[in-house]
């Protein structure tokens, strides 16, 4: 694998499951090709899906020279190991693993609301009953720490930021009740590399 190769991250032209990866690459100053597939018809992706040499063809995918990865968490973990965005002690690793699994559960439950035919009814119920419990637990877990695993940013914080930003759009009045989570969002957006990326034309708002 060439050290000068420019990696490609491919997904639809939405934030979705690729956005935490884009944020990680932007934070570490990695130049990459942000490849977009047509979301509505998916024709191009279906044509290429089984021709690119992936073990498990899926989106997002990440290609860096001979390295070919699919699935959001697998790509994020690879980049985290490569760029020093993993916990370095047992306590941090335990927190890292727990928050990753917790966010996986939250996103799965939230997705059921987003894609249900009775969205408006489900949204009201989710905001009233489910979201506060989820944010309560996240807020207590974060406590007074700078980031979810401690005082150093970790790959799970990129995923947490994206998820919390979805919730901030979905129900801003609910998120605003949790000061430490709001501060984490602000802290993340104030990171110089992230701030620059969010002002760039490449950022999907």
The parent domain of residue 79 ranges over 8-84
Residue 148, pLDDT > 60, answer: yes
Q: Is residue 58 part of a domain?
A: yes
Q: In this structure, are 94 and 124 located in the same domain?
A: yes
Residue 74: name the closest of 151, 195, 159 by CA: 159
Do 152 and 75 reside in the same domain of the chain? Answer: no
Q: Is residue 202 part of a domain?
A: no
Q: Are residues 80 and 133 in the same domain?
A: no
Domain boundary among 56, 84, 112: 84
Spatial separation of the C-alpha atoms in residues 60 and 58, rounded to whole Å = 6
**Structural domains in the chain (count):** 2
Q: Find, among 189, 183, 187, 182, the residue nearest to 167 by Cα.
A: 182
Check: pTM over 0.85? Answer yes or no: yes
Q: Would you give the distance in Å from CA 23 to the centre of its chain? A: 8
| Predicted confidence (pLDDT) per residue in 13-50, tens digit | 999 999 999 999 999 999 999 999 987 778 888 889 99
Q: Which of 58, 84, 110 is the last residue of a domain?
A: 84
Q: Is residue 161 part of a domain?
A: yes
201 falls within a domain: no
pLDDT, tens digit (0-9, with 9 covering 90-100), for 41-91:
788 888 899 999 999 999 999 999 999 999 999 999 999 999 999 999 999
Alpha-carbon span 198 to 153, nearest angstrom: 18
């Amino acid at each position: 694998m060439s050290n000068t190769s420019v990696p490609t991250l491919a997904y639809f032209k939405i934030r979705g499951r690729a956005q935490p990866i884009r944020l990680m690459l932007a934070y570490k100053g990695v130049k990459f090709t942000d490849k977009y597939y047509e979301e509505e018809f998916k024709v191009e992706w279906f044509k290429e899906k089984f021709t690119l040499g992936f073990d498990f063809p899926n989106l997002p995918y990440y290609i860096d020279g001979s390295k070919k990865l699919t699935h959001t968490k697998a790509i994020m973990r690879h980049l985290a190991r490569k760029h020093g965005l993993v916990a370095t002690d047992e306590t941090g690793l335990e927190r890292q693993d727990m928050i990753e699994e917790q966010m996986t559960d939250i996103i799965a439950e939230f997705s059921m609301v987003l894609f249900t035919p009775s969205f408006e009814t489900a949204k009201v119920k989710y905001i009233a009953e489910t979201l506060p419990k989820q944010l309560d637990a996240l807020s207590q877990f974060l406590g007074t720490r700078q980031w979810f695993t401690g005082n150093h940013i970790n790959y799970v914080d990129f995923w947490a930021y994206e998820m919390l930003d979805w919730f901030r759009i979905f129900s801003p009045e609910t998120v605003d009740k949790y000061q430490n989570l709001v501060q984490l969002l602000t802290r993340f957006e104030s990171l110089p590399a992230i701030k620059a990326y969010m002002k760039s034309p490449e950022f999907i708002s």
